[in-house]
Amino acid sequence: MIRIACERPEGLEGAQAAFADLCEEFLPLLQADPRVQAYAVPGRDLEVCVVLGGAQECLDWDAPEDVLGFHAVISGMRQDPETGVEYHEVNTRHEAFVNLDAAARNMLDDWFERPPPAILRDLLATVPHEILHVLEWIRETGGLTPDEVYSEEEPGAIGNVLRAIEARMGGTGDDLEDAIEELAKDLTSLMGEVVWEAAERLHPLMAARSPVP
């Protein structure tokens, strides 16, 4: 079975808090969906952790600060300041990251330019999109975490897995990103009227923060 857990920082306010609430409401629906459970590894309970964070977590994994989300696998090269030894941070769990800071900026920038429910649907699609990247990794590795795949003796092992996923999808005639994005948008429709209700709750906050009269 695939289980989806969530971590979020304390003290969130405003748009970040509202979007985090929406993401958390979405996760049980995703976990229950058979299209997600189709990635389960027989005989194993596997957890995908969705981390709701911000710019600092992007820096932790060497991801751009304005990215909406990513599958946290491995960092860039680091160097121990005392020993000079170079190393990578490699994730010990299956982790999808959602950038609340970037989502809040996008909401504020677009709120009066597009229908708010459409904005929220597009941003929410980040959640299944990144989860699906994790699930493709799980399918390719039989459930191994990045840390279990990586070794100093074979530093290219993680890249090999990522290339194998691309090749497998390419063998079916599908582009990986296009296939994931299409399914992510389809899964986002599970939220239905919740998106409209969230848009109504958020509107006073967006109106107060926006320079648009």
pTM value > 0.95: no
Above 60 in pLDDT, residue 18?
Answer: yes
Above 80 in pLDDT, residue 84?
Answer: no
Q: How many whole angstroms from its chain centre is CA 9?
A: 16
Q: Which two tokens stand for residue 40?
A: 């389960």
The DSSP output letter for 41 is P
Are the beta carbons of 132 and 176 closer than 8 angstroms?
no
Above 90 in pLDDT, residue 151?
Answer: no
User: DSSP H helical segments within 33-78, as ranges?
Assistant: 34-37, 55-60
Above 70 in pLDDT, residue 211?
Answer: no
Are the beta carbons of 100 and 75 closer than 8 angstroms?
no
Cα–Cα distance, 121 to 117 (Å, whole number): 6
Above 50 in pLDDT, residue 213?
Answer: no
Mean pLDDT of 38-56: 95
**Maximum C-alpha span of the chain:** 60
Mean pLDDT of 40-46: 95
Cα–Cα distance, 60 to 97 (Å, whole number): 11
Q: Which two tokens stand for residue 121?
A: 């649907």
Cα–Cα distance, 5 to 27 (Å, whole number): 8
Mean pLDDT of 113-118: 92
Q: Which two tokens stand for residue 21?
A: 């609430």
Cα–Cα distance, 44 to 142 (Å, whole number): 9
Bridge-partner residues for 70, per DSSP?
A: 97
Above 90 in pLDDT, residue 181?
Answer: yes
A 10 A CB-CB count for 139 gives: 15
The SS3 call for residue 123 is helix
**Where residue 207 falls among pLDDT bands split at 50, 70, 90?**
confident
Above 60 in pLDDT, residue 55?
Answer: yes
The reported pLDDT for the residue numbered 206 is 81
- 155-165 pLDDT per residue, tens: 688 889 999 99
| Mean pLDDT over the full length of the chain | 89
**Where residue 20 falls among pLDDT bands split at 50, 70, 90?**
very high
Cα–Cα distance, 57 to 75 (Å, whole number): 11
The SS3 call for residue 89 is coil
The reported pLDDT for the residue numbered 152 is 64
Q: Which two tokens stand for residue 144?
A: 């191994």
**Where residue 172 falls among pLDDT bands split at 50, 70, 90?**
low
98 vs 87, more confident: 98
